[in-house]
Homo-oligomer: A and B are copies of this chain.
């Protein structure tokens, strides 16, 4: 569901910034429009650091979600760029819909990898639970799409399964680079979520101990130790 005013500006400044319809036109002339990272927030929210908060980076508690399509590299060798493009269109859309429904930021895409941040610019007391719900929505909506997609590639539906990794905790969020500003989150939590995703099986959601500890509903699941690239000690992950 698309919001008529910017959720971020409303929450943080009690300012009703219109995103859609006639009321939004004067705003658009000044470059204020729905953010590409979350259409329920606006471009002011993206600039909030330098313009409103006067800091280029802040340290926040956030939940980070990574997902990608198993076997993307090998399938893209064997198929046309047009077919692969259509697959990515569908995948980005499925991810965007699920992430935005739970007020997250679709922060980054690189090839078939998608990175989402929960708890900024829209603050959520239960951002870790929201991220897990978004992950389940991605798996579910992708499941309904991938059978017909796989058929168009001459593959089994299983070949297009996605893996998801989630971690939560303190990240540095803001603009990186001096010449080219880039809004993103940085920190161990980001790397752990990314590595958890890379060891997740197709169809699986792997979460860290920190996520497991915050979510009562995961009480029953048992952890497994994984040796992750770049980590000295094994990391315990839970299927969620």
Name A's B-contacting residues (CB within 8 A).
Answer: 29-31, 36-37, 39, 57, 59, 71-74, 76-77, 81-82, 84-85, 88-89, 92-93, 96-97, 106, 108-111, 113, 115, 170-172, 174, 176-182, 184, 186-188, 190-191, 194-195, 229-232
Contacts and interface: CB of A to CB of B under 8 A. Distances in A.
Contacts of A76: 186-188, 191
A57 to B, nearest CB: 6
Contact of A77 (B74, B182, B191): B191
25 contacts: A36-B180, A39-B179, A57-B82, A57-B85, A71-B230, A73-B195, A73-B229, A73-B230, A76-B187, A76-B191, A81-B187, A82-B172, A84-B172, A85-B176, A92-B176, A92-B178, A96-B177, A108-B108, A108-B110, A109-B177, A109-B182, A110-B110, A111-B186, A111-B191, A111-B194
A62 to B, nearest CB: 11
Q: Can you list the 9 inter-chain pairs with the closest CB atoms, starting with the nearest?
A: A73-B230, A92-B177, A81-B172, A81-B187, A31-B31, A74-B230, A110-B110, A96-B179, A73-B191
User: What is the interface of chain A mostly: helix, strand, loop, or mixed?
Assistant: mixed
